[in-house]
């Protein structure tokens, strides 16, 4: 089966040249396969929430979608930051046509995924009870949240491995093959969810087990396909497992600022969740449902960001700095268009979408109020992701990290600890306010950067 999959993936590869041609056309060419991969990830995330919300009730939804998800999001953002470094280094070296360096980065990237994944797993297993207590998780859902966190901790190694593989593929401009791997996860995740939680009635334990098994199967498939792929990114984990010291330094030099920058978006989320927790189980379940629907927009945003990293990384590596600026502007235009569309869609259909995750009227009322407030201001996110992604592609890590620290992390914390919060809607209003500040500062930094105004001689 895996051999047939590999032959099919080789046959349906997308051309990788993003250094020339119309930027809008290339972005749209890569948009749909990358968007499908993010959408499929969202779908298998939906599976947990829908099955728990329907079979277990709002308590099950609150267990997985509350503090546990907020903690996991911090970790996944850290992993995404480290994987962005692998993407950037592969893309830049591929743009320079340095095959040896590309292979060295790939080898070191997989090594980092296993070692760092093991370290993060150990820390999360040891600190899970403390973290839930710190976030004041309600007693009625604390036990299930702890189960979910511990299972997810064990799943982090295969998650890190398969995400590294997808990042490498996307660095080459290959947006199509990752879709098939995400499809493996989506199908297996939904089937295992229905089996363990729906048929066997294992609840949160069943959905947690389903998550681990689906990640493990995808990681195995990724490593098998890399081993049997004859092109530049062939990798045999038995023979090639190890690292290059210089590439390891480069991954951490770029990845740590990227990871911290990503964490600045997720860390305030733990405080947001603790503030939501204070309003009770209905508010926690509503916030979980809100996040699931809101994530449709973030699938779109992440797609634009991924494509921007790939295109700017290769262009920067090839010395086409002016094209880097054009890519960032084009990405902002496409993202702004999507922001207006999703604002309109959620205003009209948001209540119906929320009802997929809960039938409780109180939960739906709170969730829809939050969704209307946040989605109406999506346009304020215009330069947050596009500029950050362009900077990542160029390896510019430190200044965007500082901007994110002040405009996202610090601003949201000040808001959450100083403003009177009378409802969950007041809590989530910190999101669009911080977007406005970050967009302004990011655009000012990037578009006035003298290094990107002309190509090197």
The predicted-structure confidence for 372-401, as pLDDT tens digits, reads as follows 999 999 999 989 989 888 888 888 878 888
Evaluate if residue 254 carries a pLDDT over 60: yes
Q: What is the per-residue pLDDT for 4?
A: 54
Q: What is the per-residue pLDDT for 322?
A: 85
Q: What is the per-residue pLDDT for 248?
A: 94
Q: What is the per-residue pLDDT for 249?
A: 94
Which residues, 6 or more positions from 316, have their beta carbon under 8 angstroms from its beta carbon? Answer: 92, 95, 324, 393, 394, 395
Whether residue 40 contacts residue 180, with contact meaning beta carbons closer than 8 Å, is answered with: no
Q: What is the per-residue pLDDT for 111?
A: 96
Q: Which two tokens stand for residue 43?
A: 């779908």
Whether residue 334 contacts residue 112, with contact meaning beta carbons closer than 8 Å, is answered with: no
Q: Return d(Cα 345, Cα 167) in angstroms, integer.
A: 30
* Tens of pLDDT, residues 318-342: 888 888 888 999 999 999 999 999 9
* Tens of pLDDT, residues 158-173: 999 999 999 998 888 7
Q: What is the per-residue pLDDT for 55?
A: 63
Evaluate if residue 285 carries a pLDDT over 80: yes
Which has the minimum average pLDDT: 113-117, 231-235, 376-380?
A: 231-235
* Domain ranges for the chain: 2-452
Q: What is the mean pLDDT of the chain?
A: 85
Which residues, 6 or more positions from 131, have their beta carbon under 8 angstroms from its beta carbon? Answer: 67, 71, 149
Evaluate if residue 16 carries a pLDDT over 60: no
Q: What is the per-residue pLDDT for 228?
A: 80
Reported confidence tier of residue 113, pLDDT bands at 50, 70, 90? very high
Would you give the DSSP letter of residue 197? Answer: I
Q: What percent of the chain has pLDDT over 70?
A: 89
Q: What is the mean pLDDT of residues 11-36?
A: 72
Reported confidence tier of residue 20, pLDDT bands at 50, 70, 90? confident
Whether residue 286 contacts residue 370, with contact meaning beta carbons closer than 8 Å, is answered with: yes
Evaluate if residue 358 carries a pLDDT over 60: yes
Reported confidence tier of residue 17, pLDDT bands at 50, 70, 90? low
Q: What is the mean pLDDT of residues 88-108?
A: 88
Using alpha carbons, select from 250, 393, 258, 221 the residue that is nearest to residue 316.
393
Q: Return d(Cα 40, Cα 245) in angstroms, integer.
A: 36
Reported confidence tier of residue 265, pLDDT bands at 50, 70, 90? confident
Q: What is the per-residue pLDDT for 5?
A: 46
Three-state DSSP at 175 gives: coil
Which has the minimum average pLDDT: 54-63, 105-114, 212-221, 433-442?
A: 54-63
Q: What is the mean pLDDT of residues 190-212?
A: 84
pTM score of the predicted model: 0.78
Cα 425–Cα 426–Cα 432 angle in degrees, nearest 5: 90
Q: What is the mean pLDDT of residues 431-447?
A: 93
Which residues, 6 or more positions from 163, have their beta carbon under 8 angstroms from its beta carbon? Answer: 79, 80, 83, 113
Q: If residue 107 lies in a helix (H) or strand (E), which one and from where to where?
A: helix 99-134
- Helices then strands, counting H and E runs in the chain, come out as 18, 0
369 vs 231: which has the higher pLDDT: 369
Q: What percent of the chain has pLDDT over 90?
A: 40
Q: What is the per-residue pLDDT for 341?
A: 97
Q: Return d(Cα 44, Cα 89) in angstroms, integer.
A: 30
Q: What is the per-residue pLDDT for 66?
A: 65
Q: What is the per-residue pLDDT for 9?
A: 45
Q: Beta-carbon neighbour count of residue 209 at 10 Å?
A: 20
Reported confidence tier of residue 207, pLDDT bands at 50, 70, 90? confident
Reported confidence tier of residue 8, pLDDT bands at 50, 70, 90? very low
């Amino acid at each position: 089966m895996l051999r047939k999959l590999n032959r099919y993936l080789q046959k349906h590869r997308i051309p990788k040249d993003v250094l020339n041609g119309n930027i809008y056309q290339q972005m749209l060419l890569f948009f749909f396969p990358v968007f499908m991969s993010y959408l499929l990830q969202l779908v298998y995330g939906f599976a947990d929430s829908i099955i728990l919300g329907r079979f277990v009730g709002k308590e099950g939804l609150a267990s997985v979608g509350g503090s546990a998800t907020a903690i996991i999001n911090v970790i996944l953002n850290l992993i995404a930051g480290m994987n962005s470094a692998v993407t950037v280094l592969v893309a830049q070296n591929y743009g320079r046509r340095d095959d040896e360096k590309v292979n060295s980065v790939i080898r070191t990237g997989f090594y980092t995924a296993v070692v760092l994944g093991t370290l993060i797993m150990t820390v999360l297993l040891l600190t899970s009870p403390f973290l839930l207590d710190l976030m004041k998780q309600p007693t009625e859902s604390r036990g299930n949240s702890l189960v979910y966190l511990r299972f997810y901790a064990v799943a982090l190694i295969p998650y890190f491995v398969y995400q590294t593989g997808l990042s490498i593929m996307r660095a080459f401009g290959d947006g199509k093959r990752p879709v098939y791997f995400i499809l493996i996860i989506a199908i297996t995740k939904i089937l295992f969810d229905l089996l363990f939680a729906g048929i066997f009635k294992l609840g949160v334990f069943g959905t947690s087990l389903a998550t681990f098994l689906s990640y493990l199967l995808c990681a195995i498939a990724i490593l098998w396909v890399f081993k049997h792929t004859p092109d530049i990114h062939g990798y045999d984990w038995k023979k090639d497992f190890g690292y290059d010291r210089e590439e390891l330094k480069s991954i951490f030099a770029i990845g740590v600022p990227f990871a911290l920058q990503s964490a600045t978006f997720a860390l305030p989320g733990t405080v947001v969740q603790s503030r939501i927790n204070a309003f009770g189980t209905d508010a926690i379940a509503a916030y979980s449902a809100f996040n699931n629907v809101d994530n449709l927009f973030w699938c779109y945003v992440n797609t634009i960001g991924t494509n921007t990293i790939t295109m700017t990384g290769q262009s920067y590596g090839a010395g086409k700095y002016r094209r880097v600026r054009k890519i960032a502007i084009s990405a902002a235009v496409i993202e702004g268009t999507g922001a207006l569309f999703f604002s309109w869609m959620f205003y009209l259909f948001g209540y119906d979408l929320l009802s997929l995750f809960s039938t409780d009227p109180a939960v739906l009322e709170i969730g829809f109020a939050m969704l209307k407030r946040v989605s109406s201001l999506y346009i304020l996110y215009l330069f947050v992701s596009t500029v950050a992604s362009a900077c990542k592609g160029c390896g510019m890590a430190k200044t965007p990290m500082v901007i994110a620290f002040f405009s996202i992390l610090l601003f949201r914390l000040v808001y959450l600890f100083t403003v009177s919060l009378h409802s969950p809607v007041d809590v989530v209003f910190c999101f669009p306010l911080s977007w406005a500040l970050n967009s302004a500062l990011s655009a000012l930094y990037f578009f006035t950067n003298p290094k990107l105004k002309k190509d090197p001689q």
